[in-house]
A and B are shown apart, each in its own frame.
Chain A
C-alpha cells in the first residue's frame, strides 16, 4: 500500500482526470482507448435509474456513457474538487451540474473511482453520486 496521499500531479491522477473528462463529456471514442476490453462500470441505482447497474465490457461501458449523454441532453458540466491517487487507484471528487430542456436541474457531488491495470487502462470504474435520488429524478 502506498502512502495514499492526494497527488494531483501523480501520473495515475493525470490518467484518471483524462478518464473523468471523457465520462463527463460523453466522448465514447476517447473512452474506448482508456478502458480494458473487460472493464466494468458500477453505476448505483440498479432497478431505479436508467443507468443503474454493473455494465461489463468496453462496449457496455461506452453504451452507458452514450446513454447518459443522451438522457442528460449533453448538458452535464463537471468541476473537479479533489483528486486522490496512488499507483493504481484514482478518486476524483467532483461537482456535476446539468439542466434538461424541461427545466429539471442536477447539482450533485460525485466520486469517480477508478482502478487501473498495469498497462494504465481502467478495469473497474464507479460513478458515485452523494445524492442518488437527485440523480434518479434528473434522469427519469
Chain B
C-alpha cells in the first residue's frame, strides 16, 4: 500500500486482466454470485440478507472478498453487459475460474488478491481507478 500526497490510496493486486476503468465502488462484505445474489434484470442485489441487498451493481467496480459456487457467471456478465446493467470492474480477494471466464467474455476488467485490510480502506461510493496493466487500484478524489 502507498499513501500519496493528495491522500489517495494505491493498493496492489495479485493477478489482473482487462482495460483500465474509473468508477465508484460497491464494497461487499461477503461472497457474490450473479445467480445466487443478483436480480439479473435490474442489476440490484436481491438475496435476502446479503450485505449489499438492495444496492445496484450497475456501473460500479465491485469489491468482493470471496466467491460462492455457481457456474452462471460464465455467461451472466456477458448478458448483463448487453442488458446495459453490467458492473464496470470486478476486484476479488479470492476468485474462481468462472468469474475470470465470465469477465473475459464480457471484456470486464477483473483482479484478485486484494487483502482484507485493504478492503477496509475502501468506502462504498468512493471513486477508484482500476488499472489491470499495473495490477493496482488508486482512490480518486
Query: Is this pair of chains taken from one and the same complex?
Result: no
